[in-house]
Chain A
Amino acid sequence: MKCKGELREFRVVGRKLPSEAVPNPPLYRCRLFAPNHVAAKSRFWYFVSYYKKVKKNAGEILLCKQVPESTPGRVKNFGVWLRYDSRSGTHNMYREYRDTKVARAVTSCYRDMGARHRARPGSIQIMKVQEVAAKDCKRKHVQQLHDSKIKFPLPRKTMSKSRQNAPRFSTNKPRLFY
């Protein structure tokens, strides 16, 4: 999978094709994060065929629906349980992200894994994503924002590239402090 742009949450339901022996095969549901529904369906078969005896040519997808964020106006702490292949083995990880949308938290997880562990999206499997209550968060970088009286200044602002070059040479020092 390519982690293109911002990922979206999909709910994919599929099953093995019904046959005379098994007219109602069991349904399998996947909660996926993918850039689009095409990638979601592909990823569905990747996971289902890994865990169950079903392949894409012998199965059918019954539902592939994008799940919009239910509470986009609330900041949440997300715990992400994942499994990834490093250069020398495969490992489990638990990571925490703070965001308003699940999909955005998972996107930043992929970017974070790429940055910190050089893990490509194809070698990452998101096993579970769950909203975690503030008191149950384990990571310091998330816990530090759990303060109802939080207060900090903006010490220094950087100039954008366009502003640095307009004008490029000047007799006045730039105003970086507000």
Chain B
Amino acid sequence: MTFTKFIEIGAVVYVNSGIYKGKLAAIVNIVDQTRLLVDGPCSSVPREVVSMKQVQLTKFKIPISVGARTVIVKKAWEKVGVTAQWTEGAWAKSLANKHRRANLSDFERFKLMKLKQKRRVIISREVKRLVKEQKSA
């Protein structure tokens, strides 16, 4: 098992717990074995120390040097276009889907149920037909 994502200066991380849950930030410096100084000027994450346990590595990286100021981080972030690349990626899409599913209205849930029923009927009809074909063959 080789590692493809690393904690390094400029690595973009997804914060998955705490106040900034669900937001992206860039690693600006490493405090110690368990803490990072992150900054997300384009995603409303202030320059703060977070624990490595709260964080998940993404495949994105911005070219900044150690301890770069917020202004520099913002410039590098916008140049690489991290926010756009992230929203188009599969991870962000699956998060958006989860969010949508969790916030369906009652009517939308009813519609979903009906669509699922229809799909189930189509699939079961096709399965029955294939089973019957195999039996007769």
Contact = CB atoms under 8 A, between A and B. Distances in A.
Contacts of B67: 74-75
- Among A75, A98, A100, find the residue whose CB has the most chain B CB atoms closer than 10 A: A75
Interface string A72-98: 111100000000000000000000001
A152 B3 CA distance: 9
B47 A73 contact: yes
Interface in B24-50: 29-32, 37, 39, 47, 49
Nearest to A97: B32
B7 A154 contact: yes
A75 B7 contact: no
A100 B5 contact: no
B32 A100 contact: no
A148 B9 contact: yes
A73 B37 CA distance: 8
Given A100-B37, A177-B1, A157 B53 contact: yes
A157 B14 CA distance: 15
A174 interface: no
Interface residues of B, number: 24
Interface in B1-32: 1, 3, 5-9, 29-32
Majority DSSP secondary structure for residues of B touching A: mixed
Contact of B5 (A149, A157, A178): A178
A18 B30 CA distance: 51
Given A75-B37, A75-B67, A99-B31, A151 B5 contact: no
B3 A153 contact: yes
Majority DSSP secondary structure for residues of A touching B: loop
Contacts of B7: 150-154
Contacts of A5: none
Closest 7 CB pairs of A and B: A153-B3, A151-B8, A75-B29, A73-B47, A151-B6, A148-B66, A98-B32
Interface of B: 1, 3, 5-9, 29-32, 37, 39, 47, 49, 52-53, 56-57, 65-67, 69-70
19 contacts: A73-B69, A74-B29, A75-B29, A75-B37, A98-B32, A99-B49, A100-B37, A141-B32, A145-B30, A145-B32, A149-B8, A150-B30, A151-B8, A152-B6, A152-B7, A152-B8, A153-B7, A154-B57, A155-B3
Given A74-B67, A152-B6, 5 more contacts: A73-B70, A141-B32, A145-B30, A150-B8, A150-B9
Interface of A: 72-75, 98-100, 141, 145, 148-155, 157-158, 177-178
